[in-house]
């Protein structure tokens, strides 16, 4: 089965602690890496978790708060020192340009590769990036600054050939591509072998959604409907509901309610406020509403099946 | 004795490794903290080493390479979230302004305290900062970008009153300040009690010099003459002398030669290239030239006596 792993590099909120670092995740999908958010210290976490920098070509920034983007300059510099040559694209709200352009000018004059800043409108749901393996869409969120989440959809793979059957019917190799795409096979004697006898269906395409930082939003429910895994911020517990609203964050209960109504496969909570030395109360609060909830933690790797 | 501690937060070079972080040190002098350089992850190191952010009012940046300043935005933001109110001064070459002004505008609009950017000419030896406890001078260095080291000189403390003697002669409290400054005491009977019977001399003022990143410079020898501790970069060993010169860095042997000729009390090496998994060869190379050499390491604290 094609690989679709989510590596948690940091899942704390603005005030970093010894327990949790600033936000960053790396998706390891088929043979490529994609990063979502890049807080201070992200490049060090990549090293600690032995994640190879070289397969990383795209970073998606949710919003321009320091705990989601202060790791970019260091990571970009390090990739240069490691001799990277291929283009590198950072996607994010337009303030990304205001932030990064002076830094690239001052620190990265001699970078051996090109940094492309792809600015997006975080208030629109749009296709942000597409390659051989995935499509990435923005998910408009509501925070104190322009902000969006990201929906990462695997592209459907083609059906699997059942080798025993194609050998049995002596099907020539040049016909296999069409059979993968759904064609039947006609033997030289004119007998039709239906496609379903020759192939096993492809695995359903996997979907992952990242929503941080945000107030709980009705509009998100529809956009993350049925995803295999939803990462939703839960900066606070329900006892801090007022504070969550004031600071444009969500509680664990609110995140679980969204997961429940969106019928997602699994919910992962993160972006914990520094006040929670123990996140068990957040977990319990969410699980009462949506049982299949897990708590993000640095170094964690979740494989979508 | 007045406290003068040097805490090593990071002593690696540009490419961070799991062994060594980006450059940063905190000097803990009497009741205040002073930081020199602030690479990515510095605020996390402060927390790991339980160093209280609140007593920090000045940061001195040697030069505008990422591994010496990419930790500033995160640290400044965190100080704001912790409710800091007092002014905060960052000293450094003029590119500091080019770097920090856009970041302060974008990320720090609502900071509850004032960040003062004090830009200096790193090619001149100048008094950069003075307070009750210390004077800080720039030390012009030679690197690929404008760069200076810093000489931190403790101010002389006044002599110590010998309480038994001032009690014995019934010296009134209001005379003690003048005695501390060197005055003799005249008893009501006209007898002169010489100052040296009433006081113990103050400890000699301590001096610390930080020189990173730089080619080895003759001019530095005079400026760091006789300091208690010299931190000098030793990015490479002598087998990499050519590479050191090309990249405007020093070898361990060159750093030791400077320490030797400047007759410093102790030499501390740091800013090790990522290529050295084991820094013992650098240590041995330096000790052959200057015996009292120590190797910087994250978490180390050196107290000047």
Ramachandran region of residue A153, left (φ > 0), alpha (ψ -120 to 50) or beta? Answer: beta
- Chain B nearest-CA residue for A96: B106
- Chain B nearest-CA residue for A101: B102
pLDDT value of position B31: 83
Q: Are residues B164 and B293 in the same domain?
A: no
- What are the φ and ψ backbone dihedral angles of B258, each rounded to 5 degrees? -65, -45
Residues in A closer than 8 angstroms to B73, CB to CB, are 40, 66, 70
- Mean pLDDT, chain A, rounded, equals 95
Q: Which of B148, B169, B200 is the last residue of a domain?
A: B200
Reported as a single tens digit per residue, the pLDDT across B278-291 is: 999 999 999 999 99
Whether the CB of A93 is below 8 Å from some CB of chain B: the reply is no
pLDDT value of position B34: 98
Residues in A closer than 8 angstroms to B22, CB to CB, are 74
Q: Are residues A210 and A266 in the same domain?
A: yes
pLDDT above 80: residue A1:
no
Whether the CB of A97 is below 8 Å from some CB of chain B: the reply is no
Min Cα separation B195/chain A (Å)? 53
Q: Which of B200, B230, B256 is the last residue of a domain?
A: B200
Number of domains into which chain A is organized? 2
Q: Do A14 and B81 touch (CB under 8 A)?
A: yes
Q: Are residues B235 and B91 in the same domain?
A: yes
Q: Are residues B72 and B220 in the same domain?
A: yes
**Contact of B77 with A68, CB cutoff 8 Å:** no
Q: Could you tell me which residues come within 8 angstroms of residue A163 by beta carbon, excluding any fewer than 6 positions away?
A: none
pLDDT value of position A231: 98
List per-residue pLDDT tens for chain B, 305 residues long.
789 999 999 999 988 888 999 999 999 999 899 999 999 999 999 999 999 888 999 999 999 999 999 999 999 999 999 999 999 999 999 999 999 999 999 999 889 999 999 999 999 999 999 999 999 999 999 999 999 999 999 998 888 999 999 999 999 999 999 999 889 999 999 999 999 999 998 888 999 999 999 999 999 999 999 999 999 999 999 999 999 999 999 999 999 999 999 999 999 999 999 999 999 999 999 999 999 999 999 999 999 98
User: CA separation (Å) from B146 to A58, A226, B213, B284?
Assistant: 33, 55, 10, 31
B12, two tokens: 């690696």
Question: Of A15, A18, A98, which has the smallest distance from its Cβ to B48's Cβ?
Answer: A18
Radius of gyration for the alpha carbons in chain A, expressed in angstroms and rounded: 22
Distance CA A27, CA B97 (A): 36
Report the CATH number at residue A256: 3.60.15.10
Q: Do B66 and A74 touch (CB under 8 A)?
A: yes
**Contact of B276 with B285, CB cutoff 8 Å:** no
* Marked catalytic residue, from A67, A213, A228, A257: A67
Residues in A closer than 8 angstroms to B43, CB to CB, are 16, 40
In chain B, pLDDT over 70 holds for what percent of residues?
Answer: 100
- Angle formed by the axes of helices A280-287 and A252-261, to 10°? 30
Q: Are residues A230 and A283 in the same domain?
A: yes
DSSP output for B273-299: -TT-S--HHHHHHHHTT-SSEEE--TT
Q: Are residues B235 and B117 in the same domain?
A: yes
Q: Are residues A137 and A221 in the same domain?
A: yes
Whether the CB of A109 is below 8 Å from some CB of chain B: the reply is no
pLDDT value of position B113: 97
Tell me which long-range contacts A73-76 makes (C-beta under 8 A, separation of at least 24). Answer: A73/A100, A73/A103, A73/A107, A73/B40, A73/B66, A73/B70, A74/A40, A74/A42, A74/A43, A74/B16, A74/B22, A74/B40, A74/B66, A74/B67, A74/B70, A75/A38, A75/A42, A75/A43, A75/A46, A76/A104, A76/A108, A76/A111, A76/A115
- Chain B nearest-CA residue for A39: B74
Q: Are residues A164 and A19 in the same domain?
A: no
Distance CA B265, CA B204 (A): 13
Question: Of A18, A40, A65, which has the smallest distance from its Cβ to B40's Cβ?
Answer: A40
Whether the CB of A187 is below 8 Å from some CB of chain B: the reply is no
Give me the residues paired with residue A179 across strands: none
Which of A54-90 are b and which e, b meaning 16 or more Cβ less than 10 Å from the residue's Cβ?
A: eebbbbbbbbbbbbbbbbbbbbbbbbbbeebeeebeb
- Is B67 annotated in the active site? yes
User: CA separation (Å) from B9 to A304, B139, B202, B283?
Assistant: 38, 21, 31, 19
Residue B246 has a CB neighbour count (10 Å cut-off) of 10
- Pairing mode, if any, of strands A56-60 and A88-93? parallel
Residue A203 — very low, low, confident or very high, per pLDDT cuts 50/70/90?
A: confident
- What are the φ and ψ backbone dihedral angles of A62, each rounded to 5 degrees? -75, -45
Distance CA B40, CA A47 (A): 14
Decide: helix, strand or coil at residue B180. Answer: helix
Residue A18 has a CB neighbour count (10 Å cut-off) of 10
Residues in B closer than 8 angstroms to A40, CB to CB, are 40-41, 43-44, 70-71, 73-74
Q: Which residue has the higher pLDDT, A159 or A103?
A: A103
Q: Are residues B96 and B228 in the same domain?
A: yes
**Contact of B197 with B187, CB cutoff 8 Å:** no
Min Cα separation A93/chain B (Å)? 13
Whether the CB of B77 is below 8 Å from some CB of chain A: the reply is yes
Q: What average pLDDT does range A169-198 have in this prediction?
A: 92
Q: Residue B212: name the closest of B43, B67, B100 by CA.
A: B67
**Contact of B129 with B91, CB cutoff 8 Å:** yes
Decide: helix, strand or coil at residue B167. Answer: helix
Q: Residue A255: name the closest of A280, A237, A275, A240 by CA.
A: A237
A204, two tokens: 């359903």
**Contact of A225 with A263, CB cutoff 8 Å:** yes
Give the total residue count for chain B: 305
Whether the CB of B103 is below 8 Å from some CB of chain A: the reply is yes
Q: Which of A170, A200, A230 is the last residue of a domain?
A: A200
Q: Do B78 and A47 touch (CB under 8 A)?
A: no
Residues in B closer than 8 angstroms to A48, CB to CB, are 18
Q: Are residues A148 and A248 in the same domain?
A: yes
Q: Do A102 and B102 touch (CB under 8 A)?
A: yes
A37, two tokens: 């958010």
Q: Residue A11: name the closest of A291, A269, A287, A301 by CA.
A: A269
Q: Are residues A61 and A171 in the same domain?
A: no
Question: Of A22, A48, A70, which has the smallest distance from its Cβ to B18's Cβ?
Answer: A48
How would you write chain A as a 3-class SS string?
Answer: CCCEEEEEEECECCCCCCCCCCCEEEEEECCEEEEEEECCCHHHHHHHCCCCHHHEEEEECCECCHHHHCCHHHHHHHHHHCCCCCCEEEEEECHHHHHHHHHHHHHCCCCCCCEEEEEECCCCCCEEEECCCEEEEEEECCCCCCEEEEEEEECCCCCEECHHHHHHCCCCHHHHHHHHCCCCEECCCCCEECHHHHEECCCCCCEEEEECCCCCCHHHHHHCCCCCEEEEECCECHHHHHHHHHCCCCEHHHHHHHHHHCCCCEEEEECECCCCCCCHHHHHHHHCCCCCEEECCCCCEEECC
Distance CA B20, CA B297 (A): 8
| Confidence (pTM) | 0.91
Q: Are residues A215 and A286 in the same domain?
A: yes
Q: Could you tell me which residues come within 8 angstroms of residue B67 by beta carbon, excluding any fewer than 6 positions away?
A: A74, A77, B12, B13, B14, B16, B22, B23, B39, B40
Question: Of B44, B65, B66, which has the smallest distance from its Cβ to A41's Cβ?
Answer: B44
For residue A60, give its domain range. Answer: 4-157+203-303
């Amino acid at each position: 089965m094609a690989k679709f792993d989510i590596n948690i590099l940091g899942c704390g909120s603005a005030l970093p602690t010894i327990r949790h670092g600033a936000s960053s995740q790396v998706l390891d999908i088929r043979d490529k890496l994609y990063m979502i958010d890049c807080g201070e210290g992200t490049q060090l976490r990549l090293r600690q978790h032995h994640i190879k920098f070289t397969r990383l070509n795209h970073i998606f920034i949710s919003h321009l708060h320091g705990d989601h983007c202060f790791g970019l300059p260091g990571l970009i510099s390090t990739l240069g020192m490691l001799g990277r040559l291929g283009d590198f694209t950072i996607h994010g709200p337009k303030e990304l340009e205001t932030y990064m352009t002076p830094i690239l000018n001052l620190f990265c004059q001699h970078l051996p590769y090109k940094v492309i800043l792809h600015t997006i409108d975080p208030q629109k749901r749009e296709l942000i990036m597409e390659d051989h393996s995935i499509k990435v869409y923005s998910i408009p969120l509501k925070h104190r600054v322009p902000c969006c989440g990201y929906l990462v959809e695997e592209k459907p793979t083609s059906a699997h050939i059942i080798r025993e059957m194609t050998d049995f019917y002596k099907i020539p190799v040049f016909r296999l591509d069409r059979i993968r795409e759904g064609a039947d096979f006609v033997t030289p004697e004119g007998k039709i072998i239906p496609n379903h006898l020759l192939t096993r269906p492809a695995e359903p395409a996997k979907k992952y959604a990242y929503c941080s930082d945000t107030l709980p939003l009705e509009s998100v429910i529809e956009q993350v409907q049925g995803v295999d895994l939803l990462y939703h911020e839960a900066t606070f517990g329900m006892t801090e509901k007022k504070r969550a609203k004031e600071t444009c964050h969500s509680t664990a209960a609110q995140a679980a309610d969204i997961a429940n109504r969106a019928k997602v496969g699994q919910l992962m909570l993160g972006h914990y406020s520094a006040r929670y030395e123990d996140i068990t109360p957040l977990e319990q609060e969410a699980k009462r509403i949506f049982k299949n909830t897990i708590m993000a933690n640095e170094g964690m790797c979740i494989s979508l099946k």
